[in-house]
Copies of this chain bind each other. A is one copy, B any other.
Amino acid sequence: MNECGYLRHLRACNPPVTEPFLPWYIEDQVVGRVRPALAEALRAHPEVFRVEATHLVLNPALDDFESRSRALARVGEALAQAGVVTPPMGEPYPVSPGGREEALCVMDRAVAAWFGVRSFGQHLNGYVRTERGVEMWLGRRARDRLVYPGRLDQLVAGGLPWGVSLEENLRKECMEEAGMAPELADRAVPVGLVSYNRVAERGYRPDVLYCYDLELSPDFEPRNSDGEVESFIRLPLDEVARLVRQTDEFKLNCNLVIVDFLIRHGHITPDHPEYLALATGLRQPLRNDP
């Protein structure tokens, strides 16, 4: 490992964008960004996309939520069959120029990842107050997971499909990932968000992670039921902070959720030399420039 510290994870989540991406417009708003090769493939679907040299536009005749969503589903299937994108997962995700509630249509989660669409998720910090100080529950991701197998993760974390309320989705994830009853999940407090503009393998990736804190009783024991977690571990906050600073044990974006927790709980203090850079860096405006 060459670099240490908290800030490197924020930098890794917000790399300089060196490759060209073409902004994707619905009407006059940018809702995504695609690689030139994908733009070329979209020329086969002129009834849905108008592909220009510098950008693409959804056919303005598709002028409501339903017609746009149906057209994008057809294109997604065709692209997957042609091997251009990964096959649809059956989870509709919002396509939005702003927040999650401002979606103009939906798109399958797997396909959306290639279109540089804004993605929204929920990450829950499960912690316990002990006589020795705060301890945090962490999950270790199953070895067969597609991304970051075997890495550490928040106790509960998941993407936010369209058409499900934040409460419902958090309850579902808390039950599946950690065996929590709905009454316990409902005690989670929404405490802010972390946002970044990443470049992932599949493309441009503007992400918003809604963060939650849930104080657990000392005898709470998580139990996974969806196979996504290999094991759980409860660690003192100092050790969690050290793992973030000195290792790459965590799934990349989970580091940011923990830095946010450390700031909110007074574990990283304002006299930390990188406090200003960390606090502002955790809340990157999502790009919507042309």
Residues of chain A whose beta carbon lies under 8 Å from any beta carbon of chain B: 98-102, 165-166, 189-193, 195, 208, 210, 263-266, 269-271, 273-277, 279-280, 282-286
Contacts and interface: CB of A to CB of B under 8 A. Distances in A.
Contact of A282 (B102, B270, B283, B284): B283
Contacts of A265: 189, 191
A277 B191 contact: no
8 contacts: A98-B277, A100-B276, A166-B271, A193-B275, A193-B276, A208-B276, A280-B283, A283-B283
A197 B255 CA distance: 28
B286 A276 contact: yes
Given A166-B271, A269-B166, A99 B263 contact: no
Copies of this protein chain in the complex: 2
Main secondary structure of the interface of A (DSSP, over half): mixed
Contact of A102 (B102, B189, B273, B286): B273
Contact of A271 (B101, B282, B283): B101
A106 B163 CA distance: 54
Given A98-B276, A276-B286, A270 B189 contact: no
